[in-house]
Amino acid sequence: MYFVIDIGSNTIRAVVFRVEEGHLIPVLNKKYSAGLVNYVGLDGALNREGIEVCVDALSELRIILDAFPFDGVYPFATASLRNITNTAEVVGEIHRRCGLCVRVLSGREEAFFDYYGSVSQSGETEGILIDIGGGSTELVLYRDGKPQLIESLHMGSLNMYNRFVNGVLPAKEELKAIQCAAKKQLADISALNRRQDVEAGLGRLKQIKAVGGSARAILKLYQGMYSQEKNCISYPQKYLKTLLSMKWEEKKIAGCILKYAPERIHTLLPGAAILYAAAKFYDADVITTGSHGVREGYLQYILDQEGCAYV
């Protein structure tokens, strides 16, 4: 069995996987709603309180690690530690106090592992992969079974919430501001890669595959409110438009989120605003939610590189 720890800006999640016939099967999943991005000061450093929140969660996971034999332990961090000014200090303290060697992924590495876990193993040949995290959004445009464009954007459901939202739930104007900010970042990377886009025909890609915690929460809300099929994984772009139009009463919106995704009460709508901006930008009519992402991709890539035998 393999133990993967994902230290994110919004949550710290640990998953134990076993391998069956070449497939990764999760057998234990534990999540801490740490919100590390909330502990980053004006100097860009994770403050002492945030370090303690992180270390406390990892110390609990250390107990599990010490109780069972694992074939491999793979802790990594994404924007939570990548986008701070005291990364080395925090990584060093985690190692000293928890005995964990944390690998801090670059934005492009995170996006690649999202792709490796969700798309490359599935046989899909073309589309757009998006992972909206708490502190960053990873984007992969792929065609002919290969990634053509890999980007990491400095926008996520939690840092957009902190930047634009004053209350618990965002107002209609605040959601529009988040969409505008997301659209600008998407336009900026499109301008930087315009020649590559044209050569690869990326402008014709219409399918969006969304992975990560925000994507799963948005899907759960859709399943609870609209779908008779609880195993549906796709929804139309217009669902996001309706969700963000704020035509419902605020109390009803809050009640639905608390019922289906309570831990995302403050970040679900900002995440949906980013996803809607991407769907509009790439003219995607349908969003499909993937069950695998960076954790599966990171472990799968390591096992493939090590040539591990699957049993």
For the chain, state the CA radius of gyration: 19
The answer to whether the 2-106 and 122-291 domains have the same CATH topology is: yes
Q: For residue 196, what pLDDT band results from cuts at 50, 70 and 90?
A: low
Instruction: Please say if the pLDDT value at position 36 is more than 50.
Output: yes
For the stretch 250-288, pLDDT in tens is 678 888 899 999 989 999 999 999 999 999 999 999 999
Query: Is the per-residue pLDDT at 245 higher than 50?
Result: yes
Residue 267's pLDDT is: 94
What average pLDDT is seen over the chain?
Answer: 89
How many angstroms separate the CA atoms of 229 and 185, rounded? 35
Domain assignments of the chain as residue spans, ordered by start:
2-106, 122-291
Give the pair of three-digit tokens for residue 10.
């919004």
CATH of domain 2-106: 3.30.420.40
Spatial distance between the Cα atoms of 91 and 143, rounded to a whole number of angstroms: 36
Average pLDDT of span 55-77: 94
pLDDT, average across residues 93-111: 96
Instruction: Using the predicted structure, report yes or no on whether residue 192 has a pLDDT greater than 70.
Output: no
**The listed CATH number (3.30.70.890, 3.30.420.150, 3.40.50.300, 3.40.640.10) that belongs to domain 122-291:** 3.30.420.150
For 140: left if phi > 0, alpha if psi spans -120 to 50, otherwise beta; the answer is beta
Residue 107 has pLDDT above 90, yes or no: yes
**pLDDT bucket at 193, cuts 50 / 70 / 90:** low
Q: What pLDDT score was predicted for residue 195? A: 46
What does each C-alpha distance from 211 to 13, 63, 158, 245, 246 come to in angstroms? 15, 29, 16, 23, 24
pLDDT of residue 311: 35
* Selected residue with higher pLDDT from 306 and 165: 165
Percentage of the residues of the chain whose pLDDT score is greater than 70: 90
